[in-house]
Structure 1
Amino acid sequence: MATRTASCSCGQLQIEVAAEPNGVGICHCLACQRRTGSVFAPVAGFPLPYTVSGRSTVYVRTGDAGCGFVYHFCPVCGTTVFHTEDDVDDEVFVAVGAFADPAFPPPQISVYDCRRHPWVQLPSGTVAFERDPE
């Protein structure tokens, strides 16, 4: 079983997962673009359990389908490290960049492709959805 640790920029907030990701995806929605300051948000879903160390500040956003997304970010440096979703009880979603691992698996899906910047090229084999296929 693989153990991975993701952390914020300053190292104060960390999450440890003890499994391979269930999946890796990219979101191009405008809310994720604003939240990350990037043109997309890569995220990996992991099965429970997970361990968090450090303090986090929480930001809750309601998605298009009405689901609550609970983002945990570092109150010191502001980095979003992970989030949970109100209607998903058995998975945690971790920002891929927080692993600082260039060998991390590539995304399998891309959501909100209707908001993808035209110069962003998806990796070969990535399945793109115009919106979230929930």
Structure 2
Amino acid sequence: MQIEVRGEPLGVGVCHCLACQRRTGSVFAALAAFPVPYSVSGTAMDYVRAGDQGARFRFRFCPVCGTNLFHTEEGVEQNSVAVAVGGFADPNFPAPQDSVYDCRRHSWVQLPAGITVYDKDPI
């Protein structure tokens, strides 16, 4: 499965919530939001979960390799798509501007200077 996005990211962030830790198998998720339109090629499987504040997120993953490549929020999927930064395989990808669920951040994770930090989800 592949996703093609256009333009610069609307924003880049990291999430330290326990659901993202479990979903990625890492200590946080790094995501970049892009405006629509975007296109997907290949087969994607879905997993839907509810966030702490009731929003429903539809995660798409590859049934062949298991990569959790992107997700949308139900009800606002016509606006943007969130893509896993690792899916770009670009070490020069822009650093995150926001960090959410800092209350779940592992103590040894160091954030970039100047990043906006939220204890939980700011929305």
Same fold (TM over 0.5): yes
TM-score (structure 2 length as normaliser): 0.98
Could you say which residue in structure 2 is the equivalent of 1:114?
103
Matched, 1:79 2:67: yes
Deviations 1:54-78 (A, max 9, x none): 0011000000010011000000110
- How far is 1:112 from its partner? 0.1
- Identity, in percent, stands at 66
Query: Which amino acid in 1 is paired with 2:54?
Result: G
The one of 45, 50, 58 aligned to 1:57: 45
Does residue 131 of structure 1 match 2:123? no
1:15 equivalent in alignment to 2:3: yes
Provide the rounded CA distance (Å) in 2 between the counterparts of 1:53 and 1:102. Answer: 24
Where in structure 2 are there 5+ consecutive unaligned residues?
A: none
* Runs of 4+ residues over 4 Å off in structure 1: none
* 2:82 counterpart of 1:69: no
Q: Which region of structure 1 is more displaced relative to structure 2, 79-88 or 26-35?
A: 79-88
Is 1:26 aligned to residue 14 of structure 2? yes
Q: Tell me which amino acid in the other structure corresponds to 2:44.
A: S
Other structure's SS at 2:121 match = coil
TM-score (norm 1): 0.90
Q: Secondary structure at the match of 2:48?
A: strand
Give the Cα separation in 2 of the matches to 1:18 and 1:25. 18
Q: How far apart are the structure 2 equivalents of 1:14 and 1:53?
A: 5
- Pairs aligned (count): 122
